[in-house]
């Protein structure tokens, strides 16, 4: 319906809205103080340049709000009136909450949007890393600071379930209308510019990925909007930043796993950002639950096994409604991918698997092969160690690690005054399902890394088989308890 309304002429749109209100032309004239002749001429397309006051009176009489009101103004070739933007500054209450462990990222995002040259900023990261929550917090911070209204839109996906964070209910009617408009390729920028005009507005485009399953807003459309709307600023979220725009990108990685140290204080250290996210979500789903020392240790280990990925931790809270922490730890050790998706996710491939597949697809074949070899390593490694053990130059190793970082597949480990990296545990668990073994370029030093091909092959075959069993069990039983009970029976029989 949104796309149909966008394509309507002013006359067709006015007639459509009048029909929805079940009003005759005479009745609409009586309610709006616009003559019957003027309404008839508008519907027949005879009035080419209607006055803004006429459209406002008709919109008021038809009780149009949000996207419908905006569509009528834009179809008339006019800038939307202020009443259209009354709902734009209304964001969910969650926007007022600063995301755990993202203070520096939030400050950088808001700082970039304040700059005259920062009219377009990208928050990038692996699916489930908290880009949507960061964009909400940034929009709320700017609104509190300057009163800046926010127009929020989520880019629709052309295939498959959405992998973004929970954005249901975030979009106002104008945002849904804008979504349908910007998804078009012809005339979108001009019409959107008439809607925005010279207002000071933040446009958030959530999930603007350049992948085949996403009908993304093109950079040409955004550039045209910025040119036509001198006071517009754009904040987009995407899995990866576009080339040559790293200076306007906020790269999100997994949350920190270590508890925050309190210097010289008698009180215990506050939980790590990852554990804080998990505890907040648990408090929402189980208000009376208070984890004891053993439960807290189990939850902390789960955070580590799920790499501190916010959406995965929110899924853990859903599982905790069904199973105690000690059972969830067992699940996280054997199949973290299962625990990273909520129990209600019965799709063949979960959101985390789709996110990992899309991230790996952003690497070159050689980089995928390197990542596959790095999953066999235990513990963190430096760029220098990677170059020496895999027979690469420092430049090649650095470029590969940087690409993996941008895709969110590895995380930095700052220890002992050195910068090391480690592959995400979820990437290791996904194994060959996202990292098919691609032969590395021939090099003598690489032969020492494949001295145990039989053991490695067995591991590659067992991991996806075990994960597939769990997912089938989850669909059959519908609860975590059923998954664990059935596994216990199989182990006992063996």
* Domain spans in the chain, listed from the N-terminal domain onward: 2-81, 93-252, 274-346+468-493, 351-451
pLDDT of 272 strictly over 50: yes
The larger pLDDT score, comparing residue 493 to residue 370, is at 370
Q: State how far the alpha carbon of 240 is from the alpha carbons of 21, 125, 208, 224, 433, in Å.
A: 45, 6, 10, 22, 21
pLDDT-based confidence at residue 459 (cuts at 50, 70, 90):
very low
pLDDT of 387 strictly over 50: yes
pLDDT of 404 strictly over 70: yes
pLDDT of 457 strictly over 50: no
Residue 212 burial (CB count, 10 A): 11
pLDDT of 23 strictly over 90: yes
Mean pLDDT, rounded, for 481-493: 47
In the prediction, which pLDDT does 83 show?
56
Q: Compute the distance between CA of residue 354 and CA of residue 126 in angstroms, rounded to an integer.
A: 11
Q: Name, of 144-153, 182-191, 380-389, the range with top average pLDDT.
A: 380-389
Helices 325-334 & 453-477, crossing angle to 10 degrees? Answer: 140
Q: Compute the distance between CA of residue 74 and CA of residue 52 in angstroms, rounded to an integer.
A: 11
In the prediction, which pLDDT does 263 show?
41
Average per-residue pLDDT for the chain: 77
Residue 102 burial (CB count, 10 A): 24
pLDDT digits (tens, 9 = 90+) for 297-326: 999 999 999 999 999 999 999 999 999 999
Residue 249 burial (CB count, 10 A): 21
**In percent, how much of the chain has pLDDT > 90?**
40
Q: Name, of 191-200, 263-272, 294-303, the range with top average pLDDT.
A: 294-303
pLDDT-based confidence at residue 434 (cuts at 50, 70, 90):
confident
Q: DSSP strand E in 18-149: where?
A: 120-125
127, 253 in Cβ contact below 8 A? Answer: no
DSSP annotation of 257 reads -
The larger pLDDT score, comparing residue 431 to residue 254, is at 254
DSSP class per residue in 390-450:
HT--HHHHHHHHHHHHHHTSEEEEEETTEEEEEE-HHHHHHGGGT----PPPP-GGGGGGG
Topology, domain 93-252: Rossmann fold (3.40.50)
Q: How far from the centroid of its chain's Cα atoms is residue 470's Cα?
A: 26
pLDDT of 211 strictly over 80: no
Q: Compute the distance between CA of residue 64 and CA of residue 70 in angstroms, rounded to an integer.
A: 9
| Domain at 2-81, CATH homologous superfamily | lambda repressor-like DNA-binding domains (1.10.260.40)
Q: Are strands 418-423 and 410-415 parallel, antiparallel or unpaired?
A: antiparallel
The larger pLDDT score, comparing residue 84 to residue 263, is at 84
Mean pLDDT, rounded, for 101-126: 90
pLDDT-based confidence at residue 98 (cuts at 50, 70, 90):
confident
**Among 173, 89, 103, 90, CA closest to 133:** 103
Mean pLDDT, rounded, for 324-345: 92
408, 359 in Cβ contact below 8 A? Answer: yes
**In percent, how much of the chain has pLDDT > 70?**
69
192, 181 in Cβ contact below 8 A? Answer: yes
**Among 311, 308, 301, CA closest to 273:** 308
pLDDT digits (tens, 9 = 90+) for 118-144: 789 999 999 999 999 999 999 999 988
pLDDT of 215 strictly over 70: no
Q: Which helix (H) or strand (E) holds 104?
A: helix 103-114
Give the pTM.
0.73
In CATH terms, 351-451 corresponds, of 1.10.110.30, 3.40.50.150, 1.10.10.10, 1.10.443.10, to 1.10.10.10
């Amino acid at each position: 319906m949104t796309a149909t309304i966008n394509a309507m002429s002013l006359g067709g749109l006015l007639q459509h809205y009048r029909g929805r209100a079940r009003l005759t032309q005479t009745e609409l004239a009586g309610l709006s103080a616009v003559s019957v002749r003027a309404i008839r001429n508008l519907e027949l397309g005879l009035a080419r340049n209607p006055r803004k006051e006429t459209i406002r009176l008709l919109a008021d009489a038809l009780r149009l709000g949000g996207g419908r009101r905006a569509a009528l103004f834009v179809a008339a070739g006019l800038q939307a009136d202020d009443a259209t933007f009354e709902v734009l500054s209304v964001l969910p209450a969650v926007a007022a909450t600063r995301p755990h462990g993202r203070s520096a990222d939030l400050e950088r995002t808001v700082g970039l949007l304040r700059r005259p040259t920062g009219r377009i900023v990208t928050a990038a990261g692996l699916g489930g890393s908290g880009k949507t929550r960061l964009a909400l917090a940034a929009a709320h911070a700017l609104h509190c600071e300057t009163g800046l209204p926010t127009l929020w839109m989520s880019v629709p996906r052309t295939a498959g379930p959405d992998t973004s964070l929970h954005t249901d209910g975030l979009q106002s009617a104008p945002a849904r209308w804008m979504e349908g408009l910007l998804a078009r390729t012809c005339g979108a920028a001009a019409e959107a510019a008439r809607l925005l005009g010279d207002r000071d507005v933040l446009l958030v485009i959530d999930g603007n990925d350049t992948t085949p399953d996403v009908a993304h807003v093109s950079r040409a459309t955004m550039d045209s909007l910025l040119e036509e709307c001198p006071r517009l600023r754009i904040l987009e979220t995407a899995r990866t930043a576009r080339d040559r725009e790293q200076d306007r990108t906020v790269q999100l990685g997994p949350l920190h796993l270590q508890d925050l140290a309190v210097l010289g204080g008698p009180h215990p250290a506050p939980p790590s950002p990852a554990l804080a996210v998990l505890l907040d979500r648990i408090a929402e789903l189980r208000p009376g639950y208070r984890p004891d020392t053993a439960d807290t240790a189990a939850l902390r280990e789960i955070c580590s096994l799920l790499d501190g990925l916010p959406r995965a931790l929110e899924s853990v809270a859903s599982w905790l409604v069904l199973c105690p922490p000690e059972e969830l730890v067992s699940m996280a050790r054997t199949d973290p991918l299962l625990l990273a998706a909520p129990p209600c996710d019965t799709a063949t491939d979960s959101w985390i698997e789709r996110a990992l597949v899309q991230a790996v697809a952003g690497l070159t074949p050689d980089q995928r092969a390197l990542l596959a070899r790095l999953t066999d390593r235990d513990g963190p490694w430096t760029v220098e160690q990677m170059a020496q053990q895999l027979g690469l130059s420092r430049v090649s190793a650095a470029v590969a690690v940087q690409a993996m970082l941008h895709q969110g597949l590895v995380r930095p480990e700052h220890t002992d005054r050195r910068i090391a990296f480690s592959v995400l545990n979820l990437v290791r668990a996904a194994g060959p399902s996202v990292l098919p073994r691609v032969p590395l370029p021939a090099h003598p030093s690489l032969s020492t890394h494949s001295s145990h091909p039989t053991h490695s092959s067995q591991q590659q075959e067992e991991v996806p088989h075990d994960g597939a069993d769990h997912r089938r069990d989850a669909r059959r039983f519908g609860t975590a308890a059923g998954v664990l009970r059935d596994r216990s029976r199989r182990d006992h029989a063996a």
